[in-house]
Amino acid sequence: MGGIDTRQNIASFPASTDVIVIGGGVVGVSAALFLAERGLRVVLCEKGRIAGEQSSRNWGWIRKMGRDPAELPLMIESARLWARLVPELGNDIGYRACGITYLAETEEQLAAHAAWLEKVHPFQLDTALLSAAETDALLGREDRRFKGALHTPSDAAAEPSLAVPAMARHAAKLGVTVLENCAVRTVERAGGRVSGVVTERGEIACQAVILAGGVWSRTFLENLGLGLPQLAVKSSVLRTAPAPQISPGALGAAGASVRRRLDGGYTIARSGAAEFQLIPAAFRHFGAFLPVLRQRWRIMKIRAGRDFFGPLGAVRWRADETSPFEKVRVLDPEPDGKLLGEVMASARALHPQLAEARPVQSWGGMIDVMPDELPVVDTPLGWAGLLIATGLSGHGFGIGPGVGLMAAQTVLGEEPLVDPAPFALSRFERRAAA
């Protein structure tokens, strides 16, 4: 799902650099780009291809609406970064501030939207609570199908499979060495500080490392003897052939959420309807995730199977051994066909324009999830020079540039663009002790 030409980079494998970024998703690519803007030498190592996993498999929403207030300041800054970057990328990534709307089919749903809007009032968003009549006007209908809606005109969307590769190409133009099919096996230290990494192609000396490995981050850290309460869930998505326009923006609803694509079709999925993967780490961190599972138990499946001792399971390796990242270059899970059949039926029931819409592709994606569904942007105790930037919990495409910039700023010792406290590793220790 996209890549960049890295042949020149591969031919000149670097012996040293200032910063190594591990992971070629939206966070890693953003961090590398912002570091290069500041004049640093940066090597980005991706085990497979740029945006091969969740950064090209997500819904493409760039939203402030519905965010946890703890991450909303970072998302506001990230939205500004998206708008600033788009003209610099030099090609059409499908970015448009088309608005996002959460439709309410019941009074309870509308009340929940109103409660969120009241909670985030201090942020002065352009979000509004729409009446049933205003919602009908937005959708071009008159049947009062919805009780109302939550609508944010400034929220945006882009095509994920185009956006992150374009950002990587831009980073390469700024001097970033992008190495695809180059897994980092481990991080080396000297005197308690990061001194370099060992990749499958050899060693690279550096002063700092940013781990933006998405769903692989916990596996990588556990091999270093570090813990992270991060687990994986599988999400399933489909796209349709071109169909009549409902609204220019994205539309969320309990049964199905839809986003109109550049090609005139729709990306369709169901929020929260994921498959919780049972692996050994799930039992270690199960207690921390109970609140999320209880909240979504009606729509989240729990599965144990062949992946129990798979690449995301309990594995250890040495620097001179093949790592899990080389054995599985790109996670490409099977989508849940039954679920997607139900979601498509819901989408047609919600929106008459989709009555004849034809699904043409479906895919699965592995999402890295934290117990509180907030990212981690922090350095583990005793690991000076290692910065973890992960755990975007299924809403990372929009906030990715913000997390990337914050990671770059932290590595450089700059004042972060927002308060870093909500994204600290220590928050999990405090909750465990409470």
Q: Was domain 7-99+154-433 assigned CATH 3.50.50.60?
A: yes
**Mean pLDDT, all residues of the chain:** 90
Comparing 35 with 369, the larger pLDDT belongs to 35
Confidence (pLDDT) at 228: 93
Comparing 386 with 276, the larger pLDDT belongs to 386
Please, which pLDDT band fits residue 286 given cuts at 50, 70 and 90? low
Residues 207/385, Cβ–Cβ less than 8 Å: yes
Instruction: Check whether 292 has a pLDDT greater than 90.
Output: no
CA of residue 199 relative to chain centroid, distance: 24
- The domain ranges of the chain are 7-99+154-433, 100-153
Instruction: Check whether 9 has a pLDDT greater than 50.
Output: no
Confidence (pLDDT) at 1: 41
Instruction: Check whether 72 has a pLDDT greater than 50.
Output: yes
Task: Give the predicted TM-score (pTM) of the model.
Answer: 0.91
- What is the share, in percent, of the chain residues with pLDDT greater than 70? 87
Please, which pLDDT band fits residue 379 given cuts at 50, 70 and 90? very high
Instruction: Check whether 352 has a pLDDT greater than 50.
Output: yes
Please, which pLDDT band fits residue 70 given cuts at 50, 70 and 90? very high
Q: What would the pLDDT profile of 261-278 be if each residue is shown by its tens digit?
A: 999 999 999 997 767 665
Confidence (pLDDT) at 272: 79
Confidence (pLDDT) at 291: 61
Please, which pLDDT band fits residue 430 given cuts at 50, 70 and 90? low
Residues 333/54, Cβ–Cβ less than 8 Å: no
Please, which pLDDT band fits residue 25 given cuts at 50, 70 and 90? very high
Confidence (pLDDT) at 8: 42
Confidence (pLDDT) at 233: 85
Instruction: Check whether 433 has a pLDDT greater than 60.
Output: no
Once rounded to an integer, what is the mean pLDDT over residues 214-241?
93
Instruction: Check whether 3 has a pLDDT greater than 50.
Output: no
Please, which pLDDT band fits residue 363 given cuts at 50, 70 and 90? very high
Please, which pLDDT band fits residue 7 given cuts at 50, 70 and 90? very low
Confidence (pLDDT) at 359: 98
Q: What would the pLDDT profile of 38-49 be if each residue is shown by its tens digit?
A: 999 999 999 999
